[in-house]
């Protein structure tokens, strides 16, 4: 992990793999840095820059002091600082909440392009009824943080249901360590439920929006809406791939990204 300080003293921490154009990889809600390892191993000619999101490792501030309505602004600011700190003009590639952060940061950060895999944006009808943050918060307040995280896993990673969630979790590499992130994930989901996609995202850089047919239907719908809101966007859907696309199908995803960036 290397660190660098911005002109105002803010410390940024990230791993950098390789040389060439920087590709900043922003992970999602429950994913650690090594979520991106399958993608990093397949990059061709680009340097992977993999930061910890604030609240998931090195932070701008104490995440316990960050309210839900500050979460997105905090992370966007962090990414903008990172864009300024790395050598070269970077590409932002975000997954889930990292995808939303990448898009918002690209509004005024000097980036070459932005890639978002199923950015954490809720369709308006779904957003109006969304209550995952409230359900998780109730469980956390009861002291049942494991069950709170399970609710997140069920809705986002297993939207079509699963026969034995406990057995699946026992094989999940981040379980049970990710339970420590329960409060941060509540704040993150609250921020997602508050976010409203504008009619037009003022992103001048070319964008690639990715989705998979086996993920949550509401995220596939919102991926299409994000694509429509971007002035310069390409849309790619992967058949048989879930919300965990970059880790689940890294070759297909990196091939699509390489093709896009090559043009």
Beta carbons of 33 and 27 less than 8 angstroms apart: yes
Contact 234, 258 (CB under 8 A): no
- Each residue's pLDDT tens digit, 229-255: 999 999 999 999 999 999 999 999 999
In a domain, 91, yes or no: yes
DSSP, residue by residue, 180-193: GGHHHHHHHHHHHH
> What is the model's pTM?
0.91
Residue 139 lies in a domain: no
In this structure, is residue 152 part of a structural domain? no
Dihedral (CA of 250, 252, 255, 261) sign: negative
Strands (E), 142-198: none
Distance CA 113, CA 103 (A): 10
Q: What confidence tens digit (pLDDT) does each residue in 76-130 have? A: 999 999 999 898 999 999 999 999 999 999 999 999 999 999 999 999 888 888 8
Q: Give the pLDDT mean for 28-44.
A: 84
Q: What is the mean pLDDT of residues 211-227?
A: 95
The answer to whether residue 60 sits within a structural domain is yes
Task: Supply the CATH number for residue 242's domain.
Answer: 3.40.50.1820
User: What total of structural domains would you count in the chain?
Assistant: 1
**Residue ranges making up the domain that contains 252:** 2-123+197-262
The candidate with the shortest Cα–Cα distance to 209, out of 196, 228, 189, 188, is: 228
Sheet holding 21-26, edge to edge: 2-5, 11-17, 46-51, 21-26, 91-95, 113-117, 207-212, 233-238
Other CB atoms within 10 A of residue 234 CB: 16
Residue 130 lies in a domain: no
Residue-level pLDDT at 60: 40
Question: Is 174 a member of any domain?
Answer: no
- Judge whether 161 lies within some domain: no
Rounded average pLDDT over 220-228 = 97
Mean pLDDT (the chain, rounded): 89
**Is 29 within a domain?**
yes
């Amino acid at each position: 992990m290397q660190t660098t300080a911005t002109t105002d003293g803010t410390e940024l921490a990230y791993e950098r793999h390789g040389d060439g154009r920087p590709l900043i990889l922003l992970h999602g809600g429950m994913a650690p840095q090594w979520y991106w390892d399958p993608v990093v191993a397949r990059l061709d000619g680009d340097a992977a820059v993999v930061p910890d999101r604030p609240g998931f490792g090195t932070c701008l501030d104490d995440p316990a002091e960050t309210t839900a309505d500050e979460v997105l602004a905090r992370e966007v600011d962090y990414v903008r600082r990172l864009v300024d700190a790395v050598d070269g003009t970077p590409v932002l590639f975000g997954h889930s909440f990292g995808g939303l952060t990448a898009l918002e940061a690209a509004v005024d950060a000097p980036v070459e392009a932005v890639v978002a895999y199923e950015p954490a944006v809720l369709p308006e009808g779904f957003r109006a009824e969304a209550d995952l943050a409230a359900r998780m918060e109730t469980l956390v307040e009861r002291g049942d943080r494991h069950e709170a995280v399970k609710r997140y896993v069920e809705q986002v990673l297993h939207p079509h249901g699963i026969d034995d969630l406990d057995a699946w979790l026992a094989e999940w590499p981040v379980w049970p360590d990710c339970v420590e992130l329960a409060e941060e994930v509540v704040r993150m989901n609250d921020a997602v439920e508050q976010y409203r996609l504008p009619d037009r995202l003022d992103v001048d850089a070319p964008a690639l929006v990715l989705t998979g047919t086996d993920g949550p239907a509401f995220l596939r719908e919102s991926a299409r809406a994000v694509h429509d809101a971007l002035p310069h966007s390409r849309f790619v859907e992967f058949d048989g791939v879930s919300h965990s696309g970059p880790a689940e199908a890294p070759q297909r995803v990196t091939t699509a990204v390489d093709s896009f960036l090559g043009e």
